[in-house]
Amino acid sequence: MEITKDLRFPIGQQPQPPESPLTSAERAALIKQIAELPAQLTAAARRVGGVRLQEPYRPGGWSGRQVIHHLADSHLNSYTRFKLALTEDNPTISPYDEQAWAELPDVAATPITVSLSLLEALHTRWTNLLSHLSDAQWQRTFYHPGSQQTVTLDAALVLYAWHGRHHLAHVESLQQSAS
């Protein structure tokens, strides 16, 4: 894993989409990362502690609480995008304003345990789905109007495996900065 000094991107920048289809082994490794994220995030949140999770992981950044709720929001959206791509021809997905979602009142009012439980259940469903896709299904696509890109499910898998590790590193950095 690439480690950087940039607090915004502690494991490095978002990866580029793969130029060719992923191999079964590459997919399995990425699916494993998605499967392991809920337990890793729960353990990290426990180590950091509730008070520290109220603080931002970097100046001007989200709090640990916001990061955890964001992961639940984002991965729910991703799961839906996968299902849409598998059942429709290149559907146009609905982007959302992540910053605005992070500032909605449910983020402050909902215990993080709710989003951690949601991620556990969601990732179980998601990885069950991902583990049963054919090579052809991995090449199905959705259109993202925000980035004006057509995205294969292979590329989305790469992105969301990174996304989980990226935000896990943000939460873990709260423990390191308290030491």
Mean pLDDT, consecutive 10-residue stretches, the chain (179 aa), reads 69 93 98 98 96 94 97 98 98 96 97 98 98 98 97 98 97 81
- CATH code for the domain in which residue 155 is found: 1.20.120.450
- CB burial of 55-94 (b: ≥16 within 10 Å; e: otherwise) equals ebbeeeebbbbbbbbbbbbbbebbbebbebbeeeeebebe
pLDDT at 176: 77
Tokens of 70: 């964001």
Q: Is there a domain that residue 3 lies in?
A: no
pLDDT at 3: 47
The pLDDT, as a whole number, for residue 169 is 96
Cα R_g (the chain), whole angstroms: 16
| Total domains present in the chain | 1
Domain enclosing residue 115, as ranges:
34-178
User: Which among 146, 33, 125, 49 is positioned nearest to 82, based on CA atoms?
Assistant: 125
Number of H helices, E strands in the chain: 7, 2
